[in-house]
Structures are given as C-alpha cells and as structure tokens.
Amino acid sequence: MDWFIIVFILMLVIAPVMWLKPSPRQKRQQALRSQIAKQGVSIKMEKPPLHHFRGTMPAYRWHYPQEGPGPDFLLVRDSNASEALAPYYAGWRWRIAPLRPLPDNAAVPLKALLERLPQDALVVQSTPYALTLWWWESQTAERFATYLPEFQQLRDALLGHADQPFSQPLKVTEQVSPAVSDQDDGLS
C-alpha cells in the first residue's frame, strides 16, 4: 500500500512536466520554422485574410525592399473560397485581383507554385510590403525548402510592380528665408 501511494505521488509530480513537453508535431513545426527563418523568411502567427475564420494561422513572408513595393492581390484556395470569386488557376480564386495584369515573368512562376503548394496552403497574398503564404505547416523543412527558390523568383518578378506609384519624400533644393521688416507689415 505504501508503494501505491508513492507511485501515485510521483505521477502527480511528473504529469505537469509531461504536459509541457512538446508533441512530435510541435517539434516538427519548430524545426521547420527555425530552418526556414534562416533562409530570410519571416514567420508569424496572425489572423489570415479569410472570412469567418477565428484564431491565428502561420504566415510565411518574403518582404519586398522599400524601394520596390509589390502589387496588391489575394488568392484563396477553392476549398475556402466563395463560388462568387473569379477563378484564377489550378483550384485558386481571386479574392482581390491585381489592378494591372501580372508580368509574364511573374505569372508563370505563380502558376507553377500554385500547382505545387500543399493542400493546407489556403492563401497567397501580395501587398506593397510582402508576399505571404498562409498555410498549416503540414510538411517538413526539407520538403518546404523546395518551394523557396520559386517564392524568391516570384517575389523578385513582382518587385516594383506596385498598383500605386511609389512616392519618395520631397527634396528641398533651396531654402528661402523671407526677409521680414517692420516697414513691410503696414502696422506702423
């Protein structure tokens, strides 16, 4: 009976430690995120641009340089899209289509990428700041690394194709200081 009590107490002590131990899925996701982040991709848990979605989802971002912003568009996989959205390619629909047609050197890699992405990839989004993939991280780091060259090629092709022209701050070429005198103000 004493041994039973000792084992029970030990299990009560060990149980919280086991809850803190990461699951195999969490270990795989952590390895995926750390390896992909080393390749220059930023990863955040955020609310995706999907209707009626609660919670957060991993967002993998390839940032555009400030001097070459990208276009605005949003592609959603058919499984998460309304039939009212315009079809694009390989089971993807435009939720927000680009204002101008994508250049050929961007449309071809985008279509190739859309064909290859895993089924849990739900959204591909471009803003003036970044190209973003929203997905549930179903693959290993080695498998996902095969997509990196295509995402980088797509980002480079979209670079500088912003929907709105990029404006730089105005430069002051000559500073003029007005001469103010008491005679000119008309108050004398």
User: Is residue 177, in this structure, part of any structural domain at all?
Assistant: no
pLDDT of residue 7: 81
Domain that holds residue 134: 25-158
**Read out DSSP for 120-172?**
TEEEEEE-SSEEEEEE---S-HHHHTTTHHHHHHHHHHHTT--SS---PPPPP
CA distance to 3, 57, 156, per residue, from 7 (Å): 6, 41, 61
Reported as a single tens digit per residue, the pLDDT across 124-161 is 999 999 999 998 988 888 898 999 999 999 999 998 87
Residue 104 CA, chain-centre distance (Å), reads: 23
User: Is residue 6, in this structure, part of any structural domain at all?
Assistant: no
The 10 Å Cβ neighbour count of residue 157 is 19
User: Is residue 179, in this structure, part of any structural domain at all?
Assistant: no
Instruction: Say how many domains are in the chain.
Output: 1
User: Is residue 61, in this structure, part of any structural domain at all?
Assistant: yes
Position 15 pLDDT exceeds 90: no
User: Is residue 165, in this structure, part of any structural domain at all?
Assistant: no
pTM tops 0.95, yes or no: no
Nearest to 60 by CA among 25, 30, 96, 36: 36
Q: Which residue has the tokens 């004398």?
A: 188
Percent pLDDT > 90 in the chain is 39
The 10 Å Cβ neighbour count of residue 129 is 13
User: Is residue 18, in this structure, part of any structural domain at all?
Assistant: no
User: Is residue 51, in this structure, part of any structural domain at all?
Assistant: yes
User: Is residue 164, in this structure, part of any structural domain at all?
Assistant: no
